[in-house]
Amino acid sequence: MSDKKIKAMIANTFLEVADALETGQYGKKPVIGFASEGSEHGQDNIEEAMKIAEMKGLKAVLIEGEDLHKKMEEMLDSGEIDGAVTMHYPFPIGVSTVGKVVTPGKGKPMYIATTTGTSDTDRISGMVKNAIYGIIAAKADGVENPTVGIANIDGARQTEKALLKLAENGYDINFAESVRADGGIVMRGNDLLGGTPDIMVMDSLTGNLMMKVFSSYTTGGNYESLGFGYGPGVGEGYDRLIMIVSRASGAPVIAGAMEFATNLIRHDWKKIADEEFEKANKAGLKDIINELKSAGKKDAGAAAEEVKMPPKEVVTSQIPGIEVMDLEDAVKALWKAGIYAESGMGCTGPIVLMSDANKDKAHEILKAAGYVS
């Protein structure tokens, strides 16, 4: 080995010791590359992000070249950088990003699963996978036993049923409880603002919208100043650490994404991802996904069957938890059994109404038909 290389090694060792004494963190400092596709806030914004990252004790480098994404991938694959932050990266189907925001209610961090990309071409299957992706990101960021809630959006109840089944099969999911009086796994707007769960599950389009609201609600919308960006791409077998920010992301968010990436590397995110996918698959994740994709396709003849409405009764009891697209079919299932029922919309979502006397029997019928859990 040449004297020059020996001196470089000694210099790097002293730098690592100095960093460890300053930050309390020992070992090689992760290197995060930033491939900017052009900030809406100009070059000054990028330079400011690099300065903030340096002040946080992070090791960040600018990636330069004609094809930034290609260069970024080469640097990741060669080990020249350990993680990367970029914009508008085309993840493959099956990979989506888990964002991290700071909720305004109590200043609590919350992971939005997911925010860009497509976990699955089927909406409900995608949301189920998003829950796993969120757990991976949160654990890899240092949250040992993160809580999981499902945003009250289209598909929430079907996602809830699938995740409860996964949990029954042995996959450890720590479900959150809504702060609202009626509780439950399905989260309300209040829970979003207060950060009730550590992980809020939703589809990526809704997640993308939520990221923009949480990161720029104090600036008028054109400058994302809060949080840690749209997060890492997560998917089974995906082993590149690529974090996403937007062209509207301000310097604090870009630096926050670099900090997020550094934490993931220090907690060995690849190992955590492999372990979580192994546990989820052992609990039948793939079977549940396959069932979801074939479920709901009820027999065409049964769907077209004319069902006569029973004599009308006063309806004072209700059963929630039914997907809005299944609401009328659920009512007809009760009619077919001779129970008068009506559909409605409660404050937590769709409901089926029936008499007090028929509630227990109605619940058994709807559960047997797969409309409620």
> Which amino acid is located at 170 in the chain?
G
Which of 219, 199, 218, 189 is CA-nearest to residue 115? 199
* 248-251: long-range pairs with CB below 8 Å, 24+: 248/40, 248/41, 248/212, 248/216, 248/222, 248/223, 248/224, 249/39, 249/87, 249/215, 249/224, 250/41, 250/45, 250/219, 250/223, 250/224, 250/225, 251/41, 251/45, 251/46, 251/48, 251/49, 251/51, 251/52
The DSSP secondary-structure symbol of 58 reads: -
What is the spatial distance between Cα 19 and Cα 25, in angstroms, rounded to a whole number? 7
**Helices assigned H by DSSP within 141-182:** 156-168
Enumerate the active-site residues.
347
Beta-bridge partners for 201: 113, 150
- Three-class SS state of 239: coil
Whether residue 160 contacts residue 185, with contact meaning beta carbons closer than 8 Å, is answered with: yes
